Amino acid sequence: MSFKKEINKKILLSESIEKDITHYNAKNKSIHRWFPYLEGFDESFISSCLDSLLLSPSFMYEPFAGSGTVPVFCLKNNIDVVYDEVNPFLNHLIEVKRLVHKLNKIEKKSLSHLLLEISNLISLELVNKKPSKKLKKNYLSAFKNSIYFDRETFDSVLKMRTFINDIDDINARKIIEIAACESLLPASQLKRAGDIRFRKGKELEKIEDYIPRVVKKIKFIVEDILSINDNYQNKIFEGNKNAKKLNKSILNKIDCVVTSPPYLNGTNYIKNTKLELWFLGHIKGQDDLRKFKDEVITAGINDVTSESKCRVKIPIIEELLKNDALWYDKRIPKMINDYFNDMFIVLNNIQSYLNDKGYVFIDIGDSIYGGIHIPTDLILIKLAESIDFKIIDNIKLRTRRSNNGQLLKQTLIVCQK
């Protein structure tokens, strides 16, 4: 069978391909609209990848789970799954998505009724709640003099933390935490535009009221819970933290991997959820953001650490990195080297997890720094070949543009053990 012919038919000719591979579609779909994650692909893209090779995996692995598209897909299709995700907020989000899918019809109705009751009480109850002293202390310790909310909104957020802490039902508490976290950025002085940044000019007029946003989000979640027609019970649904650490429990067991690693583009995937991490208690001081640097793939300038990592021995990258004078920021060469060093570790781990003839689909984009092109897909292919992966294809999915308008691309690397 010609894979390229099949992938063209299943993926590239789809009218929604650009929306399927940019999380655009997922942002408006049941369950995945709970938190509109910036990156990733839609569940339909996973189906297209598997269908293109007539694959029916019974066990999948996702090294970069993000908001949980692959784990949820596996849950809904009775596929066992193990996933890694460094970000504890996203792990919390995935866990909540799992728990609602595993409820039976009566449990879903009962939980939904409770959530609506709570949502109707929020405005009244918050009046008498005391602001969380612990959350305020953590804010001052972590963010110092940064003002991310106006005074009234900040008070509401602190009271919301107290309100949620007082909810007895653990499932309801976890779900309302998601609604409360998702509403933080829209009600703040910050805006997600690639990385989060402070709002400017007319953007400040679009700040939403926090409490109404939370209530609205809870009702969206209730709609989605009631739309789940079955309770899903795959045998294995396990989340871990770091794709760079070998998981010996799944050696030679995985049939297939579909993943979108962090792009080498300067995005700080932890910093972009700092408000959510703070609200959940994972950021208590300035050092807490830094501690994730050792865990994440070195994909951005702020991820670069002083740790000395092996020099990647690939002619393409050695040529790029040999002249430090080419780079406008002296951290860039180290960032590039460390990115591919980290990805090589992940690829090695994936190789050891796959069973005989297991497949890997890697959705990735290239980068440009100061006019210098980094062919990420080609370098990853060289790394994969060096550990005996068979490269089936590298398929261009779409054209992208860098911040300065230069052409980039997004590709799908397909390989087999």
Let me know whether 88 and 130 are in one domain.
no
Does 9 reside within a domain? yes
Query: What's the domain count of the chain?
Result: 2
What is the pLDDT, as a whole number, of residue 312? 74
Let me know whether 191 and 109 are in one domain.
yes
What is the pLDDT, as a whole number, of residue 23? 53
CA atoms within a 13 Å half-sphere pointing along the CA-CB vector of 194: 7
C-alpha distance across the termini of the chain, in Å: 18
How confident is residue 19, by pLDDT bands cut at 50, 70 and 90? low
Q: pLDDT higher for 14 or 127?
A: 127
Let me know whether 95 and 123 are in one domain.
no
Q: Containing domain of residue 191, as a range?
A: 105-227
pLDDT at 175 over 80: yes
How confident is residue 300, by pLDDT bands cut at 50, 70 and 90? confident
Cα separation, 280 vs 202, in Å, equals: 30
pLDDT at 382 over 60: yes
Residue ranges of the alpha helices (H) in 61-150?
A: 69-76, 88-101, 105-127, 133-143
pLDDT at 303 over 60: yes
Cα separation, 156 vs 261, in Å, equals: 36
pLDDT at 59 over 90: yes
- The first and second tokens of residue 80, run together, are 């066992």
What is the pLDDT, as a whole number, of residue 134? 98
DSSP string of 324-369? GGG-SSTHHHHHHHHHHHHHHHHHHHHHHHEEEEEEEEEEEE-EEE
The separation between CA 134 and the C-alpha centre of its own chain, rounded to angstroms, equals 27
Residue 257's SS3 state is strand
What is the pLDDT, as a whole number, of residue 401? 73
8 Å CB contact between 308 and 255? no
Closest CA to 361 of 262, 264, 263, 260: 260
pLDDT at 1 over 50: no
Per-residue exposure over 376-393, b if at least 16 CB sit within 10 Å of its own CB, e if not: bbbbbbbbbeeeebeebe
Listed range (40-49, 98-107, 125-134, 293-302) with the worst mean pLDDT: 293-302
Let me know whether 253 and 366 are in one domain.
yes
Cα Rg for the chain, rounded, in angstroms? 22
- Average pLDDT over every residue of 294-305: 82
Let me know whether 40 and 111 are in one domain.
no
**DSSP code of residue 314:** -
Q: pLDDT higher for 394 or 329?
A: 394
How confident is residue 27, by pLDDT bands cut at 50, 70 and 90? low
CA atoms within a 13 Å half-sphere pointing along the CA-CB vector of 203: 13
Let me know whether 206 and 58 are in one domain.
no
Does 247 reside within a domain? yes
Cα separation, 215 vs 77, in Å, equals: 31
Q: Average pLDDT, whole number, for the chain?
A: 88
Listed range (54-68, 171-185, 303-317) with the worst mean pLDDT: 303-317
pLDDT at 2 over 70: no
Does 270 reside within a domain? no
Let me know whether 112 and 196 are in one domain.
yes
Let me know whether 238 and 363 are in one domain.
yes
Does 285 reside within a domain? no
Does 275 reside within a domain? no
Cα separation, 335 vs 248, in Å, equals: 29
Q: pLDDT by residue (tens digit) across 349-370?
A: 999 999 998 999 999 999 888 7
Let me know whether 195 and 246 are in one domain.
no
By percentage, how much of the chain surpasses pLDDT 90? 62
pLDDT at 16 over 80: no
- The first and second tokens of residue 315, run together, are 């002619």
Cα separation, 70 vs 258, in Å, equals: 7
Q: pLDDT by residue (tens digit) across 74-89?
A: 999 999 999 999 999 9
Cα separation, 335 vs 302, in Å, equals: 9
Let me know whether 329 and 404 are in one domain.
yes
Residue 53: how many CB atoms within 10 A of its CB? 17
Let me know whether 209 and 249 are in one domain.
no
Q: What is the CATH number of the domain that holds 359?
A: 3.40.50.150
Let me know whether 320 and 372 are in one domain.
yes
How confident is residue 6, by pLDDT bands cut at 50, 70 and 90? low
Closest CA to 299 of 246, 364, 247: 364
